[in-house]
Amino acid sequence: MSRQTNGGWLRVVGTGPGPDRWLTPETAAILAEATDLVGYAPYVARCPERPGQTRHASDNRVELDRARHALELATAGARVAVVSGGDPGVFAMAAAVMEAIDGGRPEWRTLDVTVHPGVSAMQAASARLGAPLGGDFCAINLSDNLKPWEVVEKRLIAAAEVGFVIALYNPASRARPRQIFDAFACLARVKAPETVVIFARAVGRPDERITVTTLGAADLSMVDMATCVIVGNADTRVIERGEDLEPWVWSPRSVAR
């Protein structure tokens, strides 16, 4: 719904972690109708090319500028898709667009803006491995440009102590290569060394790499920005399937009484 009459709209969408087979029909239709695509360059590059459509590909870490630019375009009458990888609601552009509206021009509040769900990286990773997120779980963004490291540490410790399975997003980057080392040092104070750990890199894409290891044995130099890290709880189990089949990983739905 909107009070705008020039036909402009803004749709916040996610392509899923990679392949088209995870792109919802709703999002595919929006990408086909949009006059303008706005997003971090690698995500915009995943969208099919359409004649007449303008691509506004930007660097990462400029989410708020990107959101404001998209709102300006829609206000001027463009049909704008703001494109995230994964689900736009999970550590992606939906919150940035809302932040821009909240602090922005009054007319942005009545603009025709909608958000559309997608498949997030932790879900693709979980499916690929079996059911590591099978019990209660949490998702933590390790980017420390958004919050003090003490907050991240407090959340990691609390989540480990009460038995959440933990999904870690943005675990490492060139600017912040030590985040995942600090996070694991923190988790090792609470969790046993044999706790199951998954590194799910680029799930569903040609450069996919899956590693099943433990908190004590994990080689953290393998973790990059395209990796979703899942740290099991005390009940997370590995099912060995023999030499030529990859193991399953799953977390029970139940907790013993």
21 sits near a copy of itself (criterion: CB under 8 A): yes
Q: Map the footprint of a copy of itself across residues 37-76, applying CB under 8 A.
A: 63
Look-up of token digits 């998702």:
139
Closest approach of a copy of itself to the CB of residue 149, in Å: 10
Please tell me the distance from the alpha carbon of residue 189 to that of residue 197, in angstroms, as a whole number: 15
Closest approach of a copy of itself to the CB of residue 221, in Å: 25
Q: What tokens appear for 186 in the block?
A: 């923190």
Q: Tell me whether residue 25 or residue 52 sits nearer to a copy of itself (CB atom).
A: 25
Q: Which stretch binds a copy of itself (CB under 8 A): 42-50, 71-79, 215-223, 248-256?
A: 248-256
Q: Map the footprint of a copy of itself across residues 107-166, applying CB under 8 A.
A: 109-110, 114-120, 123-124, 126-128, 130-131, 133-141, 146-148, 151, 154-155, 158-159, 161-164
CA 75, distance to chain mean position in Å, is 28
- Dihedral sign for Cα 159, 163, 164, 167, please: positive
Closest approach of a copy of itself to the CB of residue 151, in Å: 5
Closest approach of a copy of itself to the CB of residue 131, in Å: 4
Q: Tell me whether residue 149 or residue 221 sits nearer to a copy of itself (CB atom).
A: 149
Please tell me the distance from the alpha carbon of residue 135 to that of residue 158, in angstroms, as a whole number: 16
The dihedral formed by the CA atoms of 19, 21, 23 and 25, expressed in degrees to the nearest 10: 150
- 257: how many CB neighbours lie within 10 A of its CB? 3
101 sits near a copy of itself (criterion: CB under 8 A): yes
Per rule CB under 8 A, count of chain residues that contact a copy of itself: 80
Partner residues linked to 173 by β-bridges: none
106 backbone dihedrals φ, ψ, rounded to 5°: -55, -35
Residues in the chain: 257
Q: Tell me whether residue 126 or residue 179 sits nearer to a copy of itself (CB atom).
A: 126
